[in-house]
Structure 1
Amino acid sequence: MRRTTSRLLRGIALVSALALGVTACGGSDDASDQKVVSAGDVQAALDKGGDITVWAWEPTLRTVAADFQKKYPKVKVNLVGERSGDKHYTALSNAISAGKGVPDVAQVEYFALGQYSLTKGLTDLAPFGADKLATKYTAGPWNAVSDGDKVYGLPMDSGPMALFFNKAVFDKYKISVPTTWDEYVDAARKLHKADPKVYIANDTGEGGFITSMLWQAGSRPYKLDGTKVGINFDDAGAKKFEAVWQKLLDEKLLAPITSWTDDWYKGLGDGTIATLTTGAWMPANFVSGVPNAQGHWRAAAMPAWAKGDKASAENGGSSLAVPALSKNKELAYAFAKYANAGDGVAIRVAQGAFPATKSELESASFQNKKFDYFGGQEANKIFAESAANVTSDWTYLPFQPYANSIFNDTVGKAYVSGTTLADGLKAWQEASVKYGEEQGFTIEK
C-alpha cells in the first residue's frame, strides 16, 4: 500500500458494516469444493476472453490493467477504483452478504484478509498454483496471505518499516541518528530541550502503528486456529514497547498532532516533527505532501529494541484476492498473478509502488536508485534490508478492522488522560475478547 495525499485512510473500518461474523458464508473455498486449476485452464480462459471486475484503489493498477488487455485483447478489465478504506470494505462485505455485485478481484489489505478468508468469502488460490509462488515474496507479505496450505491472495506491495528523519534538524542540534529505542528517547529529550517547539515525532494513537511496533518488539498478542482466537497484550514484547513509549507520553515528547492532517504536513515541512517511523511506501508522500523539505530528510533503519537486533516489521500493504463468488475465477487469478507476480510488478514499481517480490527488492536497479528528495540517498537499500528482516510469524485478528476501530476508545485514552498504555492495551484486549465472543469465536485467554 502506498499512501497518497488523496488516500488518508488505512482502512480502519466501520465494523457494523464489515464484520461478517463466523457463521456468515459468502461461498466456499473448502478443498473438497475446489478442483485443481492448471496453467492450461487459465490460458484457455484467457484465449476465450470475457469480462472481469476489479475493485482496487491502487493507482498503478490502471496501467497494469491497460497492459494486461493489450496482451490479452479478448479480456476486458473493469477497474473500479473510486473507493478505499472503510467505503471499499463496506461495499465488499455488503456485496458478499447479498450474494450479488461481487467483484472478480478485490484489493484487500493484509490486516483485513482474515475476516474474509475465515468466513469463506475468498477463493483459496492454491489449487490455481499460487502456493508455488511463495518463494517469490518476502516473508511478511506471504505470511499475511497464506494460512497453512491455503493462499487467499497474492501480495501486491509491502510496508517494511524504516525511520525517516530530518537530517537538517538533527545536524542543527547535534543529534545522532538513534539505532535503539532507548537512544530514540534520549534524542527526543535533547531535541525538545533544545527547542520546545521541536518534537521527535507526532503520535495521537493509531492501531496500525501500535501493532507494527508490537510486531517488531517481539509481541505476539494474537493467535488464530480456525475459530479459536487468543488475545493477550501481556507478553514480554508488549512490556518492552510500553516501557519506552510510556516515557515519551509521560514527558510530553510527542507532538499531539494527528497524522495525515494539514498540521502534520506542516510539522514535517518546518522541522517541528523530526522523525517518522512508518512503511517504505512513504517517500512518494514526502514528495507530494512536503515539497518544501526536499533535501532535509533521510531514511535509516528502524531503531532496535536491543543493540544489534535486526528485527523489523511491516506497516501497511495489500493483496489482490479473488472473492468466492467471482464468476470468472480463471481470468481473475490470471489478472492477480500478472499484476503481482508477472510483468505488472515492474510496471507498478516504475510508477513508485513498493514491491513485495524478492527479485525486485534485490535488483541493482531498485537498490541503486537515488532519491532526489533524500539528498541523493539510495534509500531502497535500507528498505530492502528491512523487508528481509521482517519476522514472519505475526498474525492479525480475523476481525482486525473492528479491533482497530475501537482503538481510540481503549488504548487511545493513554494519549489524552492519565490512563497508562498498559491499562489501555488491557482495555483493548477485553473489548476485543468481548466482541469476538459475541461473534461466535472461541476465545482462549
Structure 2
Amino acid sequence: MNVRNFSVRRSVVATVAAVTALALAACSGGGSDADADKPSGPVTVKVWAWYPSFQKIVDLYNSTHTDIKIEWTNAGAGQDEYTKLQTALKAGKGAPDVVMLEFQELPTYQLTKHLVDMGKYGANDLKGQYVDWAWKQVSTGDKVYAIPVDAGPMAMLYREDLFKQYGLTIPKTWDEYKAQAEKLKTASAGKAFMTDFGGNDGGFMTGLMWQAGSKPYSYDTANPSNIGISVNDAGAKQVMTYWEGMVNSGLADTKAYGTTDFYNGLGSGKYVTYLAAGWGPGYLASVAKTTAGKWRAAPLPQWTAGGNAQGDWGGSSFAVTDQAKNPEAATKVAMEIYGAKNTDAWKIGIDEAYLFPTATPVLESDAFLKKKYDFFGGQTVNDVFVPAYKAILPFSWSPFNSYNFNQLTTGINGAIEKKTSWTAALDTAQANVTQYATQQGFKVQ
C-alpha cells in the first residue's frame, strides 16, 4: 500500500543510517526466546497497521476467533511507524507481534534479523495463492518473512469527457501518449496537461522505471553484505529522458503529489490523465469527487507496441517481529487477517480502504473482477488492473530504501527546478547511493 498522504514518503535519512548500521551488526545476531512459555488460553496478538477502516477488520477478526484476540495500534503511517518500530527493536522491547510493512522496507528488517521466518509455522502453504513476483517480495527460498496484503499495479486513468472534447484517442504506447499530449496542448491552448509528474514520490517514479525494465538493485538477504547498485541503468534513464522532454515541452505538469494544487488539477480538468496504482480508483474518487462518472481506466502505455511490461507502485504486507511472545499465533494472524478466504475482510478492504488485493483467489473472484465503479461510469476497472498485476516481473529493493528514495526525489526535483539534466541527476544518485552503501559496510558489486 502506498501511503495515501504522500508526504510520509519523505525520508528520514538519519534514521536509515542508524538502522542500516544496526542491520549489519546484526547479521551474525542470535535468536529469540519468543517461543517460551506460550499461554494456554486465548492469545493476545499486538498489531501495528495504518490501513483505512482497519478497526472494522480487527473487530471482524476478534468476533470470529476465540483462540486469538488482536490488540491494534495505529503507530503512524509509513516512516512515522518505521521510526517507532526501529526504536523498539533496538531497545529489545515495545515492538508489536505483527507489523504492517511496505514491500520496499522488508529488506531492512530482514537484514537485522528482527523478522520471524513464518515458514516454520506454515506460511509456505500460502505460496500458491500469490503470483510469483508478489511472493518473492516477502520470501527468500523457503523462508517467509511477511504475508502480502495489497499491491499497486499501474494503469492510466483518463477523463473520457475531456478526451472527447479535445479529440484525443487512448494511447497504447508512450510515443502515442506524447503525441496525444501535443494535440491536447494545442486544442486546450495550453490550459490542460496530459498529466502531472510527481517528482516528490519515489514509489511513483520507481513504478514507471520498473515497467521499463530497470533493476536498480541486486540484493539477496541470503548474502546480506553484498549488493549491486544500478539506479542509473538504461531503463531508468529511458523513463527520465522521456519525462524530462514531456515537462520541458509543457506537456506534463510537476505539482507535488498530495498537495492542494495536485488535487485541484485532478478535479478541475487541468490533468486529463492520472497514471495510477491499483489503489488509485478509490483514492481518486476521494480527492476529485466533483468529477464522478467522468473517468475511465485503460492499460498503461507501453514502450514497445504490443508489449505487456508492467510496474508496481506501492504494496504492503504483514510481518511477525522477533518480540512476538507467541510467533505461531502471530503468524496465524498475519496469514488470516487479510487471507484469501476472508471475503468479509476483503469486502471492507476493497470498498472502504481502496486496497488492491494480492491473493489471486480474491483477484479472480466475481466480487472483485466484476465490481462496477460508479465513479468510473460503471466501468469494471479491475479488468484493467488485474492483468497488469499478473504481468509484473520480480523486482529487488535495497536495505536502505528510504535513502534511495531521498536521493531519487531530491535529484529529480532539483533537475525540474533548475532545468538541468534528469539523467545527470540519476548519475549523481548512483554515486551517492554507492558511497552510502560502502560507508554502511556493504560490499558493492
Equivalent residues in 2 for 1:18-417, closer than 5 Å: 18-19=16-17, 20-24=19-23, 48-195=41-188, 196-205=190-199, 206-225=201-220, 226-344=224-342, 346-352=344-350, 353-392=355-394, 394-417=395-418
User: Cα distance, 1:139 vs. partner?
Assistant: 2.9
The DSSP-based 3-state class of the residue aligned with 1:319 is strand
User: Cα distance, 1:245 vs. partner?
Assistant: 1.7
- TM-score by structure 2 length? 0.91
Aligned counterparts of 1:80 and 1:187: Cα–Cα separation in 2:
47
* Residues 239, 74 of structure 1: alpha-carbon distance in 2 compared, 3 angstrom cutoff: closer
User: Cα distance, 1:436 vs. partner?
Assistant: 0.9
- TM-score by structure 1 length? 0.91
Q: Is the CA contact 1:47–1:72 (under 8 Å) kept in the aligned structure 2? A: no
Q: Which runs of 5+ in 1 are unaligned?
A: none
User: Cα distance, 1:265 vs. partner?
Assistant: 1.2
Tell me the matched-pair count.
434
Q: Look up the equivalent residue of 1:249 and give its one-letter code.
A: V
The DSSP-based 3-state class of the residue aligned with 1:324 is coil
Match of 2:444 in 1: 443
User: Cα distance, 1:246 vs. partner?
Assistant: 2.4
Aligned counterparts of 2:52 and 2:138: Cα–Cα separation in 1:
21
State the Cα deviation string for residues 12-68 of structure 1 (Å, max 9, x = none).
3313124412554798899x9699x9xxx9xx9797322221110012432222122
* Residues 430, 28 of structure 1: alpha-carbon distance in 2 compared, 3 angstrom cutoff: closer
The DSSP-based 3-state class of the residue aligned with 2:11 is coil
Aligned counterparts of 1:111 and 1:238: Cα–Cα separation in 2:
17
* Residues 273, 250 of structure 1: alpha-carbon distance in 2 compared, 3 angstrom cutoff: same
Q: Look up the equivalent residue of 1:337 and give its one-letter code.
A: M
User: Cα distance, 1:399 vs. partner?
Assistant: 0.5
The DSSP-based 3-state class of the residue aligned with 1:410 is helix
Q: Is the CA contact 2:57–2:348 (under 8 Å) kept in the aligned structure 1? A: no
Aligned counterparts of 1:364 and 1:203: Cα–Cα separation in 2:
34
Aligned counterparts of 2:338 and 2:303: Cα–Cα separation in 1:
33
Q: Is the CA contact 1:164–1:298 (under 8 Å) kept in the aligned structure 2? A: yes
The DSSP-based 3-state class of the residue aligned with 1:48 is coil
State the Cα deviation string for residues 62-94 of structure 1 (Å, max 9, x = none).
222212222223533211115112211100111
Aligned counterparts of 2:155 and 2:148: Cα–Cα separation in 1:
20
Aligned counterparts of 2:28 and 2:321: Cα–Cα separation in 1:
10
Q: Is the CA contact 1:25–1:120 (under 8 Å) kept in the aligned structure 2? A: no
Q: Look up the equivalent residue of 2:388 and give its one-letter code.
A: S
Q: Is the CA contact 2:101–2:319 (under 8 Å) kept in the aligned structure 1? A: yes
Aligned counterparts of 1:209 and 1:192: Cα–Cα separation in 2:
24
Q: Which moved more, 1:412-421 or 1:435-444?
A: 412-421
Q: Which runs of 5+ in 2 are unaligned?
A: none
User: Cα distance, 1:10 vs. partner?
Assistant: 5.4
Aligned counterparts of 1:76 and 1:250: Cα–Cα separation in 2:
55
Q: Look up the equivalent residue of 2:335 and give its one-letter code.
A: K
Q: Look up the equivalent residue of 1:21 and give its one-letter code.
A: T
Q: Look up the equivalent residue of 1:194 and give its one-letter code.
A: A
Identity %: 32
Aligned counterparts of 2:373 and 2:39: Cα–Cα separation in 1:
39
* Residues 260, 23 of structure 1: alpha-carbon distance in 2 compared, 3 angstrom cutoff: closer
Aligned counterparts of 2:162 and 2:40: Cα–Cα separation in 1:
58
- Is 2:427 aligned against 1:426? yes
Q: Is the CA contact 1:69–1:77 (under 8 Å) kept in the aligned structure 2? A: yes
Q: Is the CA contact 1:165–1:299 (under 8 Å) kept in the aligned structure 2? A: yes
Q: Look up the equivalent residue of 1:91 and give its one-letter code.
A: K
The DSSP-based 3-state class of the residue aligned with 1:159 is strand
* Residues 179, 138 of structure 1: alpha-carbon distance in 2 compared, 3 angstrom cutoff: same
Q: Which moved more, 1:246-255 or 1:302-311?
A: 246-255
The DSSP-based 3-state class of the residue aligned with 2:219 is strand
The DSSP-based 3-state class of the residue aligned with 2:126 is helix
* Residues 29, 60 of structure 1: alpha-carbon distance in 2 compared, 3 angstrom cutoff: farther
* Residues 417, 296 of structure 1: alpha-carbon distance in 2 compared, 3 angstrom cutoff: same
State the Cα deviation string for residues 283-328 of structure 1 (Å, max 9, x = none).
1122221110011111111111101111111110100011122222
Aligned counterparts of 1:231 and 1:330: Cα–Cα separation in 2:
36
Q: Look up the equivalent residue of 1:322 and give its one-letter code.
A: V
Aligned counterparts of 1:378 and 1:170: Cα–Cα separation in 2:
19
Q: Which moved more, 1:93-102 or 1:16-25?
A: 16-25
